Structure 1
Amino acid sequence: MTMAVAQSGAGVDRGRALRWGAALVALVVLLPLLALLWTAAQGSGDLWPNLLRHVLPHALGQTLLLVLGVGVIAGIIGTGTAWLVAVCRFPGRGLFEWALLLPLAIPTYIQAFVYVDAVHPLGPVPTLIRQVLGIASPRGLWLPEVRSLPGCIVLLGLVLYPYVYLTARAAFLVQGSSVLEAARTLGAGAWESFFRIALPLARPALAVGVTLALMETVNDVGASEFLGVQTLTLSIYSTWLNRSSLPGAAQIALFMLAIMIGLVVLERWGRRHLSVANVGARVRPPARRQLTAGAAVLAIIGCFLPVLLGFLLPAGHLAHMAWARWQFTGFPVSVAQEALNTALFAAAGTSIALGGGLLVALAGRTGALRTGLVPRLAGLGYAVPGTVLAVGLLVPLAAFDNLVAAASSQMFGMSTGLLLSGSGAALVIAYVIRFLVIPVGGLEAGFGKISPSLDMAARSLGERPRGVVRRIHLPLLRPALGTAALLVFVDCMKELPATLMLRPLNFETLASHVYAEAARGTYEDGAIAALLIVLVGLAPVILLARLSRPTQD
């Protein structure tokens, strides 16, 4: 009896510890947002009217036009290609099924970096076109200006459409053949079946994919700056660093955060009352429609162009520039150090994010969390752009440093100086907050596949809770842990806005090196670093291609 009571008390203590630990993780995510409110309130009374007159109107207009344009392009390309590979049969369909994901390997700022170099009047693309057309002078050939708002919209759409493609393709595959067959028996043609049946049913998935693409659009800073588009993200960066106004940057960040919240609310609204259930033992995948010769050619072109423009052309030009630079100077020593910096910081952020995600997911598994609020708050960081997160982190980090320095001076007579502010720790914290949603969601899904009966069986055999986690949960969660680790690592490696604003002085990563070379116009010097980012970025694309492959074809 005494032992049972002791075990019950230990279980209560363990549940309380998990609950408080998960709450602490959520508090760390919320702290920058609370600090952002406090920082914005410190601005002088005339700061906000100045922003309203001179900064926000233009930046907001550019941002809204960019978001609208990217949403339209990503939605059309992603939905159209997803429909073709999901329900149509044509030569090369199996190849395009995974090749359409390749643009995800190229960050938006590298896409802009490559296209600015490739299509300038003396670049390889205009030169090739002039040679084919027999035009001698560069002024004799007109091409659309890449450094413009339309150019930025097209380039971001070509990189971000896979978010829509992934969710739309999954939605089309799970709709089942019975729905489309019923429409055909009622006389609906292919186009009518798509617009009146398949597309409305896929609206929840499309809303998720488009929202993810728009979040990445709002978070972008490198591509918009290279292409001359003054977005809210870029305004935060310039207001803080160029005008030395942290409250002004915080006020713009709050305005931008409101837009992100609006995107999330819009996504939820788009999915309201749109849950679709399939009744039956197993959903039969849709029967693929054999396209005619002409339609098959159009389908091949429609699937090939996004891959060509979104991956093959920029990756090929990047590889050519990197090879030319390698032959001229060899592998730069600075790039090797930057690659090491990138790997170390990304690994640190990944390790801490996995630990925090496991803590939150484990608290939910054991019932220590009474609601799903804590996991949602822990995953809130992904909706916060890197620039907004960087501004919000400054105040709590500085407060912690001042507190430790004051305590050290009082107790030991010496100041510790800055421990977190301006150090690599600040950047790692930003990585963890921004990408914590990946391990939280992945591990919650992994726990969902582990039967609770395994836990009860282990406990009935005398295994302690820690032993259950170590000997049962962790081995079974290994695929989810590996997937989350890979995704977080690559996202940390590619993250540019937070890296630019929080990295220590005289510290470079591959992303910041590419940005610096592009800002100077020396694109060739950043080619090797950019190519390394793209090559590492291929790993999660390959993983996504394997995970999203249907079990039946």
Structure 2
Amino acid sequence: MAGDGCETARAAGGAAAMPAVRRHEPGWSVAVAVLAAAALAPLVAVVVLAFGPSDGVWSHLVSTVLPRAIAETAWLMAGIGIVTGVVGVGAAWAVTMYRFPGRRVLDWALLLPLAVPTYIAAFAAVELLDFAGPVQSGLRAVLGVTSKRDYWFPEVRTLGGAVFVMGTVLYPYVYLSARATFLMQSAAALDVARTLGAGPWRLFFRVALPLARPAIAVGISLALMESLNDIGAVQYLGVRTLTVSVYDTWLNRNSLAGAAQISVAMLAAMFALVAVERAARRRQRFHAGSRAAVVVPRPLPRGRGLAVAAFCALPVVAGFVLPALVLARSALRRLDQASDPALALAGFHSISLAIVAAVSTVAAGAAVAYAVRLKPGRWPRVGAAIASIGYAVPGTVLAVGILMPLSSLDAALARTLRDLFGLAAGLMLAGSGAGLVYAYCVRFLAVPIGNVETGLGRLSPHLDMAARTLGRSAAGTLRDVLLPLLRPSIATAGLIVFVETMKELPATVLLRPFNFETLATTVFNAASRERFEDGALAALAIVAVGLVPVIVLARASAGGRNLARRQASAEIRDALQHRPA
């Protein structure tokens, strides 16, 4: 059917332009407005809470909590920006420009850390490198010492440890963007620079790097958004970021207003990153080079080749291989938990929530993208942009904002049921999985909107015109004509939303119903009790699920000569770059 659709598109494209058949169907615009309002409501609620009646905790936060939180957040983000930039750009340049031992494997292996959530990487790093871990235990055995005072070993539960651990799993954002840009750069420009006497370093810093700077800025911005959203890794590694302060102020100080006030500061930082990312994306499109002459990798001498291979392999080992080995070792020690009903129930909760969130989010995203196609103009695009805003909002901030509108709806529903039927109702929304699904939909809606818009952009508008001329409604045209052709885009978006929902921790921890566990909260709870092994099976399951889109992307990239694989690679790459922070 897809093939027939492509033939139709080609035939329509070659024919004279058909007159547009316009029918007034305001339902699509209303849908965009409703979804935009749903995405904006949590942010409005955060601002209202922050500037509303205060419980007096703000002065205490300003004098004792915020100075350290702001400083540590800034240092963490600066460090992660440097680590992801150096590793991501360096690896992308090496794999693109040079031939060295293991290059073909490292080309796709450098993506593997994307499958490891930051909080699982942190738990695994402590399990591996802490005083009782295998590394220090082996070191003490070799040195013949027993006390920590007898030798020096870097402490992983520090700000520097957090920068290293999180940087090794977030650099693929920069690697993806930089690699795509280096591949697009014209070989002719590089050859001219070489002819003028530019050596390898000058070629990189004076020619390639300035052209790739917008793409690198996009990748680093995404990595920084992810680091600002994190709560599990930074809390476990002892870093008091703004996100941890929101969590602590809400749950431990019992001050939702104080949490909202900190959240406003986080939103300001996040939207500054979004502005940088959007500006960089516009410049990235402008600077895209011609591919008339593609870059041909040059062989390196054996010594340099081995050094470059080691540089590219180290982040793969640190960001994926070692965490996976730690998880496997810990899981083998807890194989008896494989039949634990509590673990099975947590897995069922995770999968159920992920399926509902993926279906709901993809349906909403497809509706928004199609509404923009039906009525291309300023206001539909503004509505789509507002609906996509959740990808930039940290999960903790989203949870603070969602609680207020859901509680108001719960109160209204309770009054209605009491007045009409005499029934006493509790928290039907805020105390159920509905709040979680709402949070996931708001947070991940940008993924299907971006993917479906990209897919629709490849389809000729003549398809819509022909269907409408034959009497189909807009909904019928979408259902019967466009959706079959959009299956790759929809499947990619659904896969990414499913995986991200399985991995999501901050919003899940704060909004889950009482005694409701998922795989992510199971890992978090086990690590909080200093019993990481108890959550190893759940962590291994999360990483295994996270590997699915990475493997698809790696296979597609490896099969670059095949058109379908190249298109699949572009779909997955775009979806990962639309990932929420």
Q: Which moved more, 1:41-50 or 1:66-75?
A: 41-50
Equivalent-residue separation in structure 1 for 2:312 and 2:289 (angstroms): 33
Equivalent-residue separation in structure 2 for 1:42 and 1:277 (angstroms): 46
Equivalent-residue separation in structure 2 for 1:516 and 1:278 (angstroms): 46
| Contact map agreement 1:215 1:260 (CA 8 A) in 2 | yes
Equivalent-residue separation in structure 2 for 1:264 and 1:462 (angstroms): 42
Question: How many residues in Structure 1 have an aligned counterpart in Structure 2?
Answer: 542
| Residue deviations 1:276-297 (CA, integer Å, cap 9, x gap) | 45676x5332121211111101
Alignment correspondent of 2:533: 524
| Residue deviations 1:302-338 (CA, integer Å, cap 9, x gap) | 0110001111011011101101211x55532211110
Equivalent-residue separation in structure 1 for 2:439 and 2:32 (angstroms): 18
Alignment correspondent of 1:421: 430
Q: Is 1:361 equivalent to 2:372 in the alignment?
A: no
Alignment correspondent of 2:339: 331
Q: Is 1:297 equivalent to 2:292 in the alignment?
A: no
Q: 2:341 corresponds to which letter in structure 1?
A: V
Alignment correspondent of 1:115: 125
1:101-500 paired onto structure 2 within 5 Å: 101-131=111-141, 133-139=142-148, 140-268=150-278, 275-277=285-287, 282-326=291-335, 328=336, 330-367=338-375, 369-371=377-379, 372-500=381-509
| Contact map agreement 1:409 1:415 (CA 8 A) in 2 | yes
What secondary structure does 1:508 align onto? Answer: coil
Q: 2:242 corresponds to which letter in structure 1?
A: L
| Residue deviations 1:175-234 (CA, integer Å, cap 9, x gap) | 121111111111111111100011110011101100000000000000011100011001
Q: Which moved more, 1:68-77 or 1:261-270?
A: 261-270
Structure 1 residues 499 and 517: CA distance shift in structure 2, 3 A: same
Q: Which moved more, 1:461-470 or 1:515-524?
A: 461-470
Equivalent-residue separation in structure 2 for 1:32 and 1:152 (angstroms): 29
| Contact map agreement 2:55 2:255 (CA 8 A) in 1 | no
| Residue deviations 1:116-135 (CA, integer Å, cap 9, x gap) | 1111222112233344x443
TM-score normalised to the size of structure 2? 0.90
Equivalent-residue separation in structure 2 for 1:359 and 1:167 (angstroms): 28
Q: 1:262 corresponds to which letter in structure 2?
A: A
Structure 1 residues 369 and 503: CA distance shift in structure 2, 3 A: farther
Identity of aligned residues (%): 48
Displacement of 1:503 in angstroms is 0.1
Equivalent-residue separation in structure 2 for 1:483 and 1:274 (angstroms): 23
Q: 2:374 corresponds to which letter in structure 1?
A: T
Equivalent-residue separation in structure 2 for 1:415 and 1:285 (angstroms): 69
What secondary structure does 1:301 align onto? Answer: helix
The one of 14, 20, 24 aligned to 1:13: 24
| Contact map agreement 2:32 2:383 (CA 8 A) in 1 | yes
Equivalent-residue separation in structure 1 for 2:75 and 2:328 (angstroms): 32
Displacement of 1:550 in angstroms is 7.3
What secondary structure does 1:13 align onto? Answer: coil
Q: 1:339 corresponds to which letter in structure 2?
A: G
Q: Which moved more, 1:162-171 or 1:419-428?
A: 419-428
| Contact map agreement 1:126 1:141 (CA 8 A) in 2 | no
| Residue deviations 1:466-525 (CA, integer Å, cap 9, x gap) | 332122111110001110001000100100000000000001000001000000001111
Displacement of 1:456 in angstroms is 2.0
Q: 2:459 corresponds to which letter in structure 1?
A: I
| Contact map agreement 2:214 2:283 (CA 8 A) in 1 | no
Q: 2:273 corresponds to which letter in structure 1?
A: L
Equivalent-residue separation in structure 2 for 1:305 and 1:164 (angstroms): 16
Structure 1 residues 411 and 377: CA distance shift in structure 2, 3 A: same
Equivalent-residue separation in structure 2 for 1:330 and 1:388 (angstroms): 34
Q: 1:263 corresponds to which letter in structure 2?
A: L
Equivalent-residue separation in structure 2 for 1:172 and 1:31 (angstroms): 40
| Contact map agreement 2:181 2:288 (CA 8 A) in 1 | no
Displacement of 1:43 in angstroms is 3.8
Displacement of 1:31 in angstroms is 0.3
Alignment correspondent of 2:13: none
Equivalent-residue separation in structure 2 for 1:324 and 1:297 (angstroms): 36
Q: Which moved more, 1:295-304 or 1:136-145?
A: 136-145
Equivalent-residue separation in structure 2 for 1:285 and 1:533 (angstroms): 38
Equivalent-residue separation in structure 2 for 1:147 and 1:442 (angstroms): 38
Equivalent-residue separation in structure 1 for 2:248 and 2:311 (angstroms): 39
What secondary structure does 2:465 align onto? Answer: helix
Q: 1:534 corresponds to which letter in structure 2?
A: V
Equivalent-residue separation in structure 2 for 1:417 and 1:368 (angstroms): 44
What secondary structure does 2:40 align onto? Answer: helix
Equivalent-residue separation in structure 2 for 1:424 and 1:464 (angstroms): 35
Equivalent-residue separation in structure 1 for 2:127 and 2:462 (angstroms): 59
Alignment correspondent of 1:51: 61
Q: Unmatched 5+ residue regions in structure 2?
A: 1-18, 563-581
| Contact map agreement 1:58 1:230 (CA 8 A) in 2 | yes
Equivalent-residue separation in structure 1 for 2:107 and 2:496 (angstroms): 20
| Residue deviations 1:352-387 (CA, integer Å, cap 9, x gap) | 101110110010111265442112111110100000
Displacement of 1:549 in angstroms is 4.9
Structure 1 residues 10 and 179: CA distance shift in structure 2, 3 A: closer
CA RMSD of aligned residues (A): 2.0
Displacement of 1:39 in angstroms is 1.1
Structure 1 residues 322 and 95: CA distance shift in structure 2, 3 A: same
| Contact map agreement 1:363 1:369 (CA 8 A) in 2 | no
Equivalent-residue separation in structure 1 for 2:267 and 2:288 (angstroms): 37
| Contact map agreement 1:70 1:156 (CA 8 A) in 2 | yes
Displacement of 1:401 in angstroms is 0.9
Q: Which moved more, 1:140-149 or 1:519-528?
A: 140-149
